[in-house]
Amino acid sequence: METQLVLEKWQGVISTVIIGAKKEEGGSRSDTVKIGGQITMPLLFKEGATPNKPRIAFEISDIAPFDFDEELIATYGKAVNDPFAWADICVNEYKAGLLCLKMQGTHPDFGNKSPESAAKFISALLSKVKVPLIIIGSGDDAKDNLIMPACSEAARGERCLIGCAVQDNYKTLVASVLADGHSIIAESPIDINIAKQLNILISDMGLSLERIVINPTIGALGYGLEYAYSIMERARLAALSGDKTLASPFICFVAQEAWKTKEAKASSQQGIIWETLTATSLIQSGADLLVMRHPKAGQNVSNYIEALFKG
């Protein structure tokens, strides 16, 4: 007797978030990136449509990175000291379709750059590279409340993805994103209830749920990955069952988690493997956007995505 595959039918759909705006849309990007849009659980192609593949964003910083090991530094060479050259290598040599910029130099301990300086930098970067941008604050809430509105305004009309909004500090960022036409990253500490509550708080300010991307705060391979995996899976099940407050795509900051592990620091080759396996595991739990660091790891994951979606 032939075994029949039981197919699940879901009532919900994951929001489609567009990053970047072309000239005819009021921006200056050469292309746009769509994430989300699924009507089924990850990679179950026979159950329903998965219109958009997971995408990779290359991580860059507005200052020379302080947490890169020697091999990573060597990969990019002197370009890590010049963010414009770094961005250019990512786009033209490693074919990055997205850049994730961290405004590390605005942090009080790492340069304390002013809002005016940050805005000038964003404008210059947007003129240098034409791929869509993800813009992330320094992690200091007080300073980010000054810096991120300036960055948002400098990128007005470019439909960037800006973050990260957290439960205790979201109002200033939401107001800026709302005013300047961007989408927002909502960060929750591996907690499905906080993720849902934060999305509700953000939408209550007038920002559409369709402009929210969830950062579930993942762990690397061997460092809480399985817990993050289960939280993402639960959120996706709830969303597809009809909970619109959780029906947002996921962004996973793979690089920062993978490269701070002792295993990744043991050797560059092991670091590449750790970043690769962390990313591929998260794709299976529903990751839509992966922020990565090493170009070899990025290529590995890109090949993996292409193999999954072949045909």
**Cα(35)–Cα(215) distance, integer angstroms:** 14
Q: Are 48 and 10 in contact (CB under 8 A)?
A: yes
AA identity, residue 221: L
Give the residue from 13, 25, 32, 9 showing the smallest Cα distance to 249: 13
Residue tagged 């107001």 (tokens): 175
Q: Are 275 and 79 in contact (CB under 8 A)?
A: no
Model pLDDT, residue 249: 98
> 239-297, pLDDT tens digit by residue?
999 999 999 999 999 999 999 999 999 988 999 999 999 999 999 999 999 999 999 99
Give the residue from 239, 162, 223 showing the smallest Cα distance to 190: 223
Model pLDDT, residue 72: 87
What are the tokens at 206?
């007038």
Model pLDDT, residue 115: 98
Domains of the chain as residue ranges with CATH: 17-305 (3.20.20.20)
What is the pLDDT averaged over residues 233-242? 97
What are the tokens at 169?
């500090």
Model pLDDT, residue 5: 74
With vertex at residue 254, the alpha carbon angle to CA 73 and CA 111, rounded to the nearest 5 degrees, is: 55
Decide the pairing of beta strands 251-252 and 161-165.
unpaired
> 105-130, pLDDT tens digit by residue?
999 999 999 999 999 999 999 999 99
**Cα(280)–Cα(298) distance, integer angstroms:** 10
What is the pLDDT averaged over residues 141-154? 97
> 94-108, pLDDT tens digit by residue?
999 999 999 999 999
What is the DSSP track for 109-171?
A: TTT---HHHHHHHHHHHHHH--S-EEEE--S-HHHHHHHHHHHHHHTTTS--EEEEEBTTB-H
> 161-218, pLDDT tens digit by residue?
999 999 999 999 999 999 999 999 999 999 999 999 999 999 999 999 999 999 999 9
Q: Residue 90: is the preceding peptide bond cis (ω within 30°)? A: no
Which residue intervals of the chain are DSSP H helices?
70-76, 83-88, 115-128, 141-154, 171-180, 192-204, 225-240, 254-258, 262-266, 268-284, 295-309
Provide the mean pLDDT of the chain.
Answer: 95
> 49-64, pLDDT tens digit by residue?
999 999 999 999 999 9
What is the pLDDT averaged over residues 221-227? 94
